[in-house]
Amino acid sequence: MSAQIPYETDVIPTSAGDLKITFLGHASLRLTFGRKEIYIDPFGRLADYSKLPKADVIFITHEHGDHLDPSALASLRTEKTLLVLTEACVQQVAGGIVMKNGDVQTVGGLTVQAVPAYNLVHKRENGQPFHPQGQGNGYILTFGDKRVYIAGDTENIPEMKSLRDIDCAFLPMNIPYTMTPEMAADGAKAFRPRILYPYHYGDTDVSKLESLLSAEKGIAVRVRKMA
């Protein structure tokens, strides 16, 4: 892929101006808010990041190579770029702000809450979860009066179900590593985001999620190219 591809974009109005979401694919997002350029899990297979605007802030959810890509980071970072990551990521990239589950910080003028992201059900052959509890982050980012939840690689864990007042949520469905459509629907029914974007869904049939949530008034499922 190249940066010349016209990626899909959505605009979310907030009390502090529009939030523009560019869907780069997989788990990678570009968020433009005012003059700030914010990237989530930049992955070099999806775009030529050297041709995209430099980052003001980058968020990394966990250390796996399709979420933490040092070459993509190098293309986006400047001396002023703020990088938020997990403790496990520090072994691969330096100069970041480490946030743990439960931490709340102001980063680049944005309120950021790090929330748990882990597996309860899906595990490797040796019995270890694909994403162990305590290692990965989801992030809740506040833009004006809107709260955006980027779940990271997780299942429909209790901490997700207890969330409230989420305006936009990005939930992963890359079986077997994260959630099935049924699990994603279960989580969404519990915390009821106003807009739900399935992302990082690979070959999963996204229409199943749409069907499972079709009767849920107040949850708008928006499918974009995020395989």
Q: Cα-atom radius of gyration of the chain, to the nearest Å?
A: 16
Answer whether the bond into residue 116 is a cis peptide, omega within 30°: no
Work out the pLDDT band at 6, boundaries 50, 70, 90.
confident
Note whether residue 1 is domain-resident. no
| pLDDT tens for each residue of 27-85 | 999 999 999 999 999 999 999 999 999 999 999 999 999 999 999 999 999 999 999 99
**Residue with tokens 């591809």, as numbered in its chain:** 5
Note whether residue 4 is domain-resident. no
Work out the pLDDT band at 5, boundaries 50, 70, 90.
low
- Using the CB atoms, write b or e for 104-123: b if 16+ within 10 Å: eeebbebebbbbbbbbeebe
What's the domain range around 144? 9-221
d(CA 19, CA 7): 16
CATH code of the domain in which 180 resides: 3.60.15.10
Note whether residue 32 is domain-resident. yes
pTM of the full structure = 0.95
Residues with Cβ within 8 Å of 68's Cβ and at least 6 positions away in sequence, in order, are 41, 60, 62, 85, 89, 92, 93
Note whether residue 2 is domain-resident. no
pLDDT score at 185? 98
Note whether residue 170 is domain-resident. yes
